[in-house]
A and B are shown apart, each in its own frame.
Chain A
Amino acid sequence: MSPALRWLARKLALAVLVVLGAATVAFAALHLAPGDPVRAVIGTLAPSDDLVAQVRADLDLDKPLATQYAHMLGGLARGDLGESYQLRRPVVEVIVADLGWTVQLAVASLLLALVVSTALAVATAGRRPTLRRVSILLELVTASSPTFWVGTILLAVLSFQLHLFPAAGAGGLEGLVLPAVTQAIGLVGIFTQVLRQSMEQALDEPFALSARARGTTETALRLRHAARHALIPVLTLSGWILGALLSGAVVVETLFSRPGLGRTLVTAILGRDLPVVIGVVVVAAALFTVINLVVDLLYRVVDPRLREWAA
């Protein structure tokens, strides 16, 4: 087997392990937790014992834990995540319906944040001291503002006062603008800081002096040399970025009443809808490992020093 293939096989094996581990931990934690999901499902204050027993049997919750665990694993292998207690629909169906919305939001805000912060970093790295200072202050403020608060204020001003964008729902591009901007604002602060710092570091390296001594212009130096160096720490951050996007989705979707994984997760937690919680955890873990794999590959595209396929 070639080193690259062996590397890929190792990574895939690890990915399966992560997903399996995530499912196991989520299952164990939720089923051992205090509180009876059956009562949460029924919802009424004093259900009859018969009803409780019937629902329990319906949901398979009367079986021993080991059987339930084996059942879940079996389902997992077939791509079946069980049925939601609250919605009485297959979890896979619920998640697939949501995933599109969340991905759309994540991609839109990520692109927006990347474009804005690259422009800011290229413009202010190691030059324009006044603009640089203003930019640093803004980054600090945006990185420190809670997402839901920023979103609330955007809502108040742009929707309620100026009626520029719809306040809720997901209809079309207009419905995407406010949520995406809200998410992007938090990311821009962090991205710009990281990009500028690594760019300034690269511009300080001897190879930058060499390039300048060859008559390279400042902008060419930034684009040809420094930008690639600046990209590496952003890739390193990708795990954190994905986390921020998913965490952000939880808040933003609730705030803007958008459908999506995050909102479904919060509703499921509050309603003790165990299959949905486990399902979201498993899907998130899978998403995470896949993206990490892609990022590992990207590293090797950007940085030839890593092209040795050592694990």
Chain B
Amino acid sequence: MTTVLTPVTAPVARARPALVLAWVGLGLLALAAAWPALLATAAPDTVDPASALAPISPHHPFGTDQLGRDVYSRVVYGTRMSLLIGLGATTLAVTVGALLGVLAAAAGRAVDELFMRITDILLAFPGLLLALLVIAVLGPGAVNTTIALACAAVPGYVRLARGQALVVRRSGYVSAAVVMGRSRVGIFFGHVLPNALPPVLAFAAVDVGTALMASASLSFLGLGAQPPAPEWGSMLAEGRDYLDSAWGLTVFPGLVVTAAVIACYVVGADLRARFEGRGTGGR
């Protein structure tokens, strides 16, 4: 799936073992991104034409690519780039989106109306199309991919944050706080913000996975991170030409992307289930 935003409340299996596994997976990814040398068996760019397209072996757990580089180590080193794009895009989108959304909810009718009309129009576009448009303007590359994916996701977050903030603002406990004489500012920081944000953040956790997938797709199209830097999507694109002779080149990076996305989904779905109904004050 190459969508930038999943509006689905992914009712993923919330089984305990799956959750533990997902957290362990995210931990491993974080480790690979921070200190790749700890997990890798070779440098990601050591070219060795003699052992090009080698099959799976204890020495090369995922085999080697057309230049003899160790695929496993490239996957490990690629984590940083992929994760940075996914996390960066989502963080950017959440920050801007939540800020605008909560402001729209708190501001007067006119501002709110204006914001919502604009997001209506932006939301009428598929996320990837928006991202492609941004890339068409800025040009390909890792940083531009991050910005493009963030831009594509912002309207969704504006909507979500505004909706959550409105639910809280109309809740019985905010009215109760008014009657108790708390100030507008006090209510905003004491009730609206802390109750409206967690569901948005839980959504963002899911979205990191979606952004990971989208960025891999963009690299695959040649519009994302550019080779030779190791990145999951571009590795997959390169491996496609050698499907006959060395399937490991394609299969393993893809498996890692899938696993990373699943981990984000499972953790995000769990967070969301925890916050569900809390912001609304329901039972």
A touches B in complex, CB < 8 A: yes
Interface with B: A96-104, A243-251, A300-308, which one?
A: A243-251
Q: Is the beta-carbon distance between A292 and B124 smaller than 8 angstroms?
A: yes
**CA distance in complex: A26, B136 (Å):** 10
Residue A120 CB within 8 A of the other chain: no
Residue B145 CB within 8 A of the other chain: no
Pick the contact of A148 from B6, B120, B217 — CB < 8 Å?
Answer: B217
Residue B213 CB within 8 A of the other chain: yes
- Among residues of B, the one whose C-beta sits closest to the C-beta of A150 is B254
Q: Is the beta-carbon distance between A21 and B128 smaller than 8 angstroms?
A: no
Contacts of A248 in B (CB 8 A): 1-2
Contacts of A196 in B (CB 8 A): 11
Residue A76 CB within 8 A of the other chain: no
Contacts of B254 in A (CB 8 A): 145-146, 149, 152-153
Contacts of A35 in B (CB 8 A): 139
Q: Is the beta-carbon distance between A149 and B236 smaller than 8 angstroms?
A: yes
Interface with A: B26-34, B43-51, B185-193, B218-226, which one?
A: B218-226
Residue A87 CB within 8 A of the other chain: no
Contacts of A109 in B (CB 8 A): none
Of B2, B132, B217, most A-chain CB atoms within 10 Å: B2
What distance in Å separates the Cβ of A133 from its nearest Cβ neighbour in chain B? Answer: 7
- Among residues of A, the one whose C-beta sits closest to the C-beta of B251 is A153
Interface with A: B58-66, B105-113, B166-174, B256-264, which one?
A: B256-264
Pick the contact of B121 from A21, A146, A244, A269 — CB < 8 Å?
Answer: A21
Contacts of B216 in A (CB 8 A): 146, 148-149
Contacts of B247 in A (CB 8 A): 156
**CA distance in complex: A194, B8 (Å):** 7
Q: Is the beta-carbon distance between A281 and B129 smaller than 8 angstroms?
A: yes
- Among residues of A, the one whose C-beta sits closest to the C-beta of B134 is A29
Q: Is the beta-carbon distance between B2 and A240 smaller than 8 angstroms?
A: no
Of A21, A239, A268, A269, most B-chain CB atoms within 10 Å: A269
Residue B250 CB within 8 A of the other chain: yes
Q: Which of under 10, 10 to 19, 20 to 34, or 35 or more describes the interface residues of B?
A: 35 or more
Contacts of A281 in B (CB 8 A): 125, 129, 133
**CA distance in complex: A30, B266 (Å):** 38
**CA distance in complex: A219, B253 (Å):** 43
**CA distance in complex: A32, B254 (Å):** 37
Number of A residues with CB within 8 Å of any CB on chain B: 61
Q: Is the beta-carbon distance between A149 and B221 smaller than 8 angstroms?
A: no
Chain A 265-299, CB within 8 Å of chain B: the 1/0 string? 11011101000010001001100110010000000
Residue B209 CB within 8 A of the other chain: yes
Q: Is the beta-carbon distance between B129 and A143 smaller than 8 angstroms?
A: no
Interface with B: A48-56, A58-66, A134-142, which one?
A: A134-142
Q: Is the beta-carbon distance between A143 and B2 smaller than 8 angstroms?
A: no
Of A152, A160, A288, most B-chain CB atoms within 10 Å: A152
**CA distance in complex: A288, B240 (Å):** 33
- Among residues of B, the one whose C-beta sits closest to the C-beta of A284 is B129
Given A160-B243, A244-B3, are A137 and B258 also a contact pair (CB < 8 Å)? Answer: no
Pick the contact of B257 from A146, A160, A243 — CB < 8 Å?
Answer: A146
Q: Is the beta-carbon distance between B3 and A247 smaller than 8 angstroms?
A: yes
**CA distance in complex: A16, B243 (Å):** 46
Contacts of A144 in B (CB 8 A): 209, 213, 258, 261-262, 265
Chain A 148-164, CB within 8 Å of chain B: the 1/0 string? 11001101100010000
Contacts of A223 in B (CB 8 A): none
Tell me the residues in window 1-60 of chain B with beta carbons closer than 8 Å to chain A beta carbons: 1-13
Pick the contact of A250 from B2, B8, B138 — CB < 8 Å?
Answer: B2
- Among residues of B, the one whose C-beta sits closest to the C-beta of A189 is B1
Contacts of B2 in A (CB 8 A): 146-148, 244, 247-248, 250-251
Q: Is the beta-carbon distance between B125 and A193 smaller than 8 angstroms?
A: no
**CA distance in complex: A14, B117 (Å):** 10
Given A155-B243, A193-B11, A247-B2, are A239 and B123 also a contact pair (CB < 8 Å)? Answer: yes
Q: Is the beta-carbon distance between A141 and B262 smaller than 8 angstroms?
A: yes
Q: Is the beta-carbon distance between B257 and A265 smaller than 8 angstroms?
A: no
Q: Is the beta-carbon distance between A18 and B126 smaller than 8 angstroms?
A: no
Residue B78 CB within 8 A of the other chain: no
- Among residues of A, the one whose C-beta sits closest to the C-beta of B216 is A146
Given A33-B138, A146-B1, are A243 and B126 also a contact pair (CB < 8 Å)? Answer: yes
| Residues in B lying within 8 Å of A, measured CB to CB | 1-13, 120-121, 123-129, 132-139, 209, 213, 216-217, 220-223, 233, 236, 240, 243-244, 247, 250-251, 254, 257-258, 261-262, 265-266
Question: Can you spell out 21 A-B residue pairs with CB atoms less than 8 angstroms apart?
Answer: A26-B133, A29-B136, A32-B137, A133-B13, A143-B265, A145-B258, A146-B1, A152-B236, A155-B243, A237-B8, A240-B5, A242-B126, A243-B126, A243-B127, A244-B2, A247-B127, A247-B129, A266-B221, A268-B136, A269-B223, A281-B133
6 further contact pairs, Cβ within 8 A, besides A250-B221, A266-B223: A34-B139, A136-B13, A144-B213, A149-B216, A152-B243, A243-B128
Task: List the 6 shortest-distance A-B pairs measured between CB atoms, nearest first.
Answer: A243-B126, A247-B128, A149-B254, A144-B261, A33-B137, A186-B1
| Residues in A lying within 8 Å of B, measured CB to CB | 14, 17-18, 21-22, 25-26, 29-30, 32-35, 133, 136-137, 140-141, 143-149, 152-153, 155-156, 160, 186, 190, 193-194, 196-197, 237, 239-240, 242-244, 246-248, 250-251, 254, 265-266, 268-270, 272, 277, 281, 284-285, 288-289, 292
